[in-house]
Structure 1
Amino acid sequence: MDLAERSRQSFLPSFLYSPSPAARTLAVDRILGRSLVSPAAEVGSTSPTPIVAQAPNEPGKIEMYSPMFYAACTAGGIASCGLTHMAVTPLDLVKCNMQIDPAKYKSISSGFGVLLKEQGVRGFFRGWVPTLLGYSAQGACKFGFYEFFKKYYSDIAGPEYAAKYKTLIYLAGSASAEVIADVALCPFEAVKVRVQTQPGFARGLSDGLPKFVRSEGVSGLYKGIVPLWGRQIPYTMMKFASFETG
Structure 2
Amino acid sequence: MLPTQTALKQAFSGCSAFPSRRDPVAEAPAKRVSKWTARHDLYPVWSAIDDAKNKATKLSDAAVAEFDKASSKAQAKTGQIELYSANFYAACTIGGIMACGLTHTAVTPLDLVKCRRQVDSKMYTGNFQAWGKIFRAEGFRGVFTGWGPTFWGYSIQGGLKYGGYEFFKKFYGDLVGEENFYKYKTAIYLAGSASAEFIADLGLCPLEAVKVRMQTTIPPFAKTTLGGITTVTGKEGFAGLYKGLYPLWGRQIPYTMMKFASFETIVEMIYNYLPGQKSDYGKGAQTAVSFTGGYAAGILCAIVSHPADVMVSKLNASRLPGEAFGAATSRIYKDIGFGGLWNGLPVRIVMIGTLTGLQWMIYDYFKIFMGLPTTGGAPPPQEAK
Q: 1:124 offset after TM fit, Å?
A: 0.9
Whether 1:123 and 2:142 are equivalent positions in the alignment is yes
> C-alpha displacement at 1:200, in angstroms?
4.4
Larger radius of gyration: 2
Quote the residue 2:187 is aligned against: 168
Residues of 2 paired with 1:163 and 1:96: CA distance? 40
Tell me the CA shift for residue 105 of structure 1. Answer: 2.2
Q: Offset of 1:172 from its aligned partner?
A: 0.4
Partner of residue 96, structure 1: 115
- The structural deviation recorded for 1:162 is 2.9
TM-score (norm 2): 0.47
| Structure 1 residue 217 displacement after superposition | 1.6
Contact 1:195 1:204 in 2 (8 A): no
- Confirm or deny that 1:233 pairs with 2:253: yes
Look up the match of 2:100: 81
Contact 1:100–1:197, Cα closer than 8 Å, also in 2: yes
Which residue of the partner structure matches residue 243 of structure 2? Answer: 223
Matches of 1:99 and 1:123 in 2, distance apart? Answer: 18
Distance 1:103 1:159 in 2: 54
Instruction: Letter of the 2:139 partner, please give it.
Output: G
- Please, which of 82, 106, 124 is the counterpart of residue 125 of structure 2? 106
Q: Is it true that 1:72 corresponds to 2:72 in the alignment?
A: no
Q: Distance in 2 between matches of 1:180 and 1:207?
A: 25
CA contact (8 A) 1:190 1:224 kept: yes
| Correspondences of 1:196-207 after superposition (within 5 Å) | 196-198=215-217, 199-207=219-227
Deviation at 1:204, TM superposition (A): 1.7
Question: Contact (CA 8 Å) 1:80, 1:139: kept in 2 or not?
Answer: yes
What TM-score do you get using the length of structure 1 for normalisation? Answer: 0.72
Match in the other structure for 2:231:
211
Find 1:141's aligned residue among 156, 160, 184: 160
Q: Deviations over 1:157-177 (max 9, x none)?
A: 223333421221111001110
How far residue 98 of structure 1 moved from its aligned partner, in angstroms, is 1.3
Contact 2:213 2:220 in 1 (8 A): no
Q: Which amino acid aligns with 1:233?
A: I
CA distance in 2, matches of 1:163, 1:95: 39
Query: How far, CA to CA, are the matches of 1:200 and 1:238 in structure 2?
Result: 33
Helix, strand or coil at the partner of 1:229: helix
Q: Distance in 2 between matches of 1:200 and 1:142?
A: 29
Shift of 1:207: 0.8
Aligned amino acid, residue 111 of structure 2: D
Q: Which runs of 4+ in 1 moved over 6 A?
A: none
Q: Tell me the distance in 1 between the aligned counterparts of 2:184 and 2:146.
A: 42
Native 8 Å contact 1:94 1:108 kept in 2 = yes
Task: Tell whether the 8 Å contact from 1:149 to 1:173 is kept in structure 2 after alignment.
Answer: yes
Matched residue count: 189
Do the aligned residues in 2 keep the contact of 1:126 with 1:204 (CA within 8 Å)? no
CA separation of 1:223 and 1:204: change in aligned 2, threshold 3 A: same
Q: Which amino acid aligns with 2:193?
A: S
